[in-house]
Amino acid sequence: MLLDDYKTNGYLYLPNFMDSQSLMEIEPIIRKFHKLWLINNEKLYKNGAINSHSLTSSKHLTENEKLTLFNFVSSDKILAAIPFQNPKFLNTQLFFDPKAMKRPNYWHRDIQYTDLEIDEQKKLITKLNVVHVRIPLKNEEGIALIPGTHRRWDTPQELQVRNSLKNSKSSDDLEGQIRRRLDRGDALIFSANMIHRGIYGNDRLTLDIIFIDDNSTLLSFRNKGNLPNIKTMTLINNPVVFE
Ligand SMILES: O=C(O)CCC(=O)C(=O)O
């Protein structure tokens, strides 16, 4: 069962998940966003950025383009694949290759970038769901993951590498790592709570949609600017994920 796989491993690989029509609808919007992001964020890109975010609050996209994105991220197909009940939309991210391809990737759990204390992080990763739904627009090298790490805290080796302690680098290989390559049309659903890192290459362009539990701690991280406005809400097929 797919749900059992997710519970055990923390990720689900869904080959040939997206139909090409849906991808063709969002692709020009995503490419437009990305092109303008590169122009407006030259310095960040030069300094090693590998992602942008918040496509649905972009001042460069029209309301109609945002409506297309909202309907895509909340499509029946995507919502049916989320491995927990009553998911809420958090945000979007767009991943691309670093300008300098030598830039090493880095193991992390998304929660480490919050202000939460370590004890709180340890507790929350096993309690609350935060998932990425990765939709690549091109065949890509994908993601490296350590299956099962959404259910437990780090081993000493993982902690050392993830935090670049002692002589470790956050890009060092870790025991138990697996790599999941992805093709256009595939989807990868993975827990942001697990230890993971991106694999760069092939001039990747990949959309991550992030969903969270309907929980007040998690919802406090939600930026209302990324949600549909009142008028757009009435035009969305599944508005409940944005409520
Ligand atoms: O693809 C990447 O470079 C990293 C992806 C990632 O860390 C994430 O989706 O949280």
Q: Tell me the pLDDT tens digit for each residue of 202-216.
A: 999 999 999 999 999
Q: Would you say 213 and 159 are in contact if contact means Cβ atoms under 8 Å apart?
A: no
DSSP bridge pairs for 187: 14
Of 106, 131, 132, the residue with max ligand 1 atoms within 8 A of its CB, to mutate for a pocket test, comes to 132
- Model pTM? 0.96
Q: How far apart are CA 164 and CA 107, in angstroms?
A: 10
* pLDDT of 32: 98
In the structure, what pLDDT confidence band is assigned to residue 102 with cuts at 50, 70 and 90?
Answer: confident
Q: How far apart are the first and last CA of the chain?
A: 30
Looking at residue 23, its pLDDT comes to 98
The protein residue whose alpha carbon is closest to atom 3 in ligand 1 is 198
What is the residue extent of each domain of the chain? Answer: 2-242
E-state strands within 64-220:
88-96, 130-136, 140-145, 178-182, 187-191, 196-198, 205-212
Predicted confidence (pLDDT) at residue 229 exceeds the cutoff of 90: yes
Q: What is the pLDDT of residues 103-135, one digit of tens each?
A: 899 999 999 999 999 999 999 999 999 999 999
Determine the distance from the C-alpha atom of residue 14 to the mean position of all C-alpha atoms in its chain, rounded to a whole number. Answer: 15
pLDDT for the residue numbered 3: 85
From 109, 140, 190, 208, mutation site for ligand 1 pocket: most ligand atoms within 8 A of C-beta:
208
Query: Which amino acid is residue 96, in one-letter code?
Result: F
Confidence of residue 170 (pLDDT cuts 50, 70, 90): very high
pLDDT of residue 90: 98
* Residue ranges around ligand 1 (CB below 6 Å): 50, 95, 110, 132, 143, 192, 196, 198, 208
Pocket test for ligand 1, best of 50, 51, 99 (most atoms within 8 A of CB): 51
The SS3 of residue 177 is coil
pLDDT of residue 52: 98
Q: How far is the CA of 192 from the centre of ligand 1 (A)?
A: 9
Query: Encoding tokens for residue 109?
Result: 């759990």
CATH number, domain 2-242: 2.60.120.620
- Output the CA 111–ligand 1 centroid distance in Å: 13
**pLDDT reading at 1 higher than 80:** no
- What is the reported pLDDT for 95? 98
Residue 146 and residue 110 in contact, taking contact as beta carbons nearer than 8 Å: no
